């Protein structure tokens, strides 16, 4: 059957209707997957929601829903070599991570145990619980969103801080390592400056020098020669720990501005100053 005038066959109309419906369905599907293309010159601008591995990237917290961030703090995440590390409101921590089934999986985290304001420590506990809850992960450009049932946190990719050089940096001791525990100091920090094979050391009470060599991630110390001034109990305790570590071989690790020296089950945590 034909319509009046230069009409169109019903079959053609039906085909056109089906074509328009298919095109509409495709557009809805693209929007559902977060893909939009546009442009007058034949080019396109595309934003694609990706489930991606953040390996090798650093992020700074940008926005939250479901949890309030204490004022004046910056929260950072860093993903490198299968490990995630974070700086919290008070303490720092980290653990191994993977991405599976669109989720960030961090089976467990270790954290420092520095004492701070109660609100800061409470936030750190909440953040650690969130990061170990296998939140969903989506990355769009330089924005990463992590979400579980209660909390959504948006992170923006940041330029990673370069590791401070081992030599020529003034390293200030911020804590001591005893097995799995890291304790903060309650006194002025000791300092170490390594330069050209000789280290200048303020051990917490006395000053002196020690020779050293570096091979790979190991520092080998020569004798530590110190003055013999008497100091208070707290300073003497710190000095004893510094002397105990700066003997023989230390394994060391630098992450941004943080240095860890390990000797057996003990060690020192230091920061570039």
What CATH number is attached to the domain comprising 225?
2.40.128.270
For residues 37 and 42, what is the distance between their CA atoms, to the nearest angstrom? 10
| Mean pLDDT of all residues belonging to the chain | 81
Q: Is residue 184 included in any domain, yes or no?
A: yes
Number of domains in the chain: 3
Instruction: Find the domain containing 73 and state its range.
Output: 58-158
Are 90 and 5 part of one and the same domain? Answer: no
Over 50: is that where the pLDDT of 34 sits? no
Which of residues 47 and 82 earns the better pLDDT score?
Answer: 82
Q: What is the pLDDT of residues 145-183, one digit of tens each?
A: 999 999 999 999 987 667 899 999 999 988 888 754 445
Same domain, 141 and 71: yes
Alpha carbon distance 87, 242 (integer Å): 25
Q: Are residues 73 and 124 in the same domain?
A: yes
Q: What pLDDT score does 51 carry? A: 57
In a domain, 53, yes or no: no
pLDDT at 110 over 60: yes
Instruction: Read off the pLDDT of residues 57-69 as tens digits, 9 standing for 90 and up.
Output: 999 999 999 999 9
Distances (CA, A) of 13 to 5, 8, 16, 23, 103: 15, 7, 5, 15, 47
266 and 243 co-located in one domain: yes
pLDDT of residue 184: 52
Q: Are the beta carbons of 269 and 260 closer than 8 angstroms?
A: yes
């Amino acid at each position: 059957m034909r319509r009046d005038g230069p009409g169109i066959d019903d079959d053609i109309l039906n085909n056109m209707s089906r074509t328009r419906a298919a095109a509409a369905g495709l557009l809805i599907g693209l929007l559902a997957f977060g893909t939009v293309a546009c442009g007058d010159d034949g080019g396109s601008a595309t934003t694609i929601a990706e489930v991606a591995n953040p390996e090798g990237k650093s992020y700074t917290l940008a926005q939250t829903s479901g949890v309030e961030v204490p004022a004046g703090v910056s929260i950072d995440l860093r993903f490198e070599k299968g490990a995630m590390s974070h700086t919290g409101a008070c303490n720092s921590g980290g653990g191994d991570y993977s991405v599976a089934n669109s989720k960030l999986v961090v089976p467990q985290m270790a954290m420092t145990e520095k004492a701070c304001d109660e609100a800061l420590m409470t936030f750190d506990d909440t953040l650690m619980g969130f990061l170990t809850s296998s939140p969903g992960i989506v990355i769009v450009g330089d924005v990463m969103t992590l979400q579980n049932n209660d909390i959504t946190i948006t992170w923006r990719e940041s330029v990673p801080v370069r590791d401070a050089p081992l030599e020529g940096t003034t390293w200030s001791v911020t804590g001591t390592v005893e097995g799995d525990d890291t304790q903060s100091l309650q006194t002025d920090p000791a300092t170490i400056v390594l330069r050209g094979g000789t280290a200048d050391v303020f051990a917490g009470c006395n000053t002196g020098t020690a020779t050293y060599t570096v091979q790979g991630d190991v520092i080998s110390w020569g004798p530590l020669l110190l003055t013999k001034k008497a100091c208070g109990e707290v300073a003497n305790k710190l000095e004893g720990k510094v002397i105990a570590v700066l003997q023989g071989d230390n394994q060391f690790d630098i992450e941004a501005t943080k240095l860890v020296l390990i000797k057996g089950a003990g060690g020192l945590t230091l920061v570039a100053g």
